[in-house]
Amino acid sequence: MSPWDIFVSIFVNTLLWIYNMVGQNFGVAIILFTILIKGLTWPLNASQLKSAKAMQDMQNDKDWQAIQKKYAKDKEKLAQEQMRVYKEKGINPFSSCLPTLIQLPVIFALYQSITRSLATTPLALLQLTRSIGSFLDVSTIIPLNSRFLWMDLGLPEGILIPGLNISFLPNGIPTLAIIVALTTYVQTKLTTPPTANPNDQSAAMTKMMAIYMPLLLGWFALTFPSGLAVYFIISNLLGIAQYAMMGRANWRGLLPGGNKPATAK
């Protein structure tokens, strides 16, 4: 068994254990599993918060403001000086993107664990039974109950409206995909520190992530099993709540021009 298969098997067994503990409700199992993942990745989020605060403090640093003024017309030299200051202050300019990038293998593992757990074919059922640990009684949990609220967690979500047929939306209005894209955008903007130089490398990376990640995760939610969309939404809401409770959410970032720091007087 490859390391990736072992990784996915851990997800499968954890999901099925939670599923069995909560009265065999797969939707609730995914929600609780998401909370567990958020707890395990908290050190990454804490590091992100620390770096974001350091970047915010740097914008108010008089020495840095003097450097910006001195090299205002020399973008290359300004970028070099910025990276030097980052190094001196121990700031990782890409830390705001790191938790999102770390989440990608979790997303793919969760997708495979959901499809394996639902086991819609005889071969998939055989593979599932081979990967389930001895602490679970296969006969009592297989086949899984994939119904949750109005959706089948093993299929892409959509709400069919009588008389409304859209060729590229065969499953109907993708409610969860829309919510996934919106919450991903909100979380990205809230956790983006203000920047005085939108042309620097870190600002460009952050701006790109703020555009592409909502679209990418929204597309995943549109085309993959809706169980994955449930994970995205709960994960995003927990992330937003964490930042809000710690008073670190950049609410101004949701407004046009909100990521520009206040001009020093």
How far is 21 from 29, CA to CA, in rounded Å?
9
| The pLDDT value given to residue 118 | 72
| The pLDDT value given to residue 265 | 39
| The pLDDT value given to residue 182 | 92
| The pLDDT value given to residue 263 | 45
What's phi and psi for 17, nearest 5 deg? Answer: -65, -45
Beta bridge partners of 147: 152
| The pLDDT value given to residue 7 | 84
pLDDT per residue over 236-255, tens digit each? 898 888 777 766 666 666 66
- Of 3, 8, 21, 228, the closest CA to residue 130 belongs to 8
Angle value at C-alpha 98, between 247 and 224, nearest 5 degrees: 100
pTM of the model: 0.71
Dihedral angle of Cα 183, 13, 108, 174, to the nearest 10 degrees: -40
Dump the DSSP string for 98-155.
HHHHHHHHHHHHHHHHHHHHH--SHHHHHHHHHHS-TTS-HHHH-S---EETTEETTS
pLDDT per residue over 123-181, tens digit each? 777 777 777 777 777 777 777 788 888 888 888 877 777 766 666 666 778 889 999 99
- Residues of the chain scoring pLDDT < 50: 261-265
| The pLDDT value given to residue 205 | 64
| The pLDDT value given to residue 244 | 76
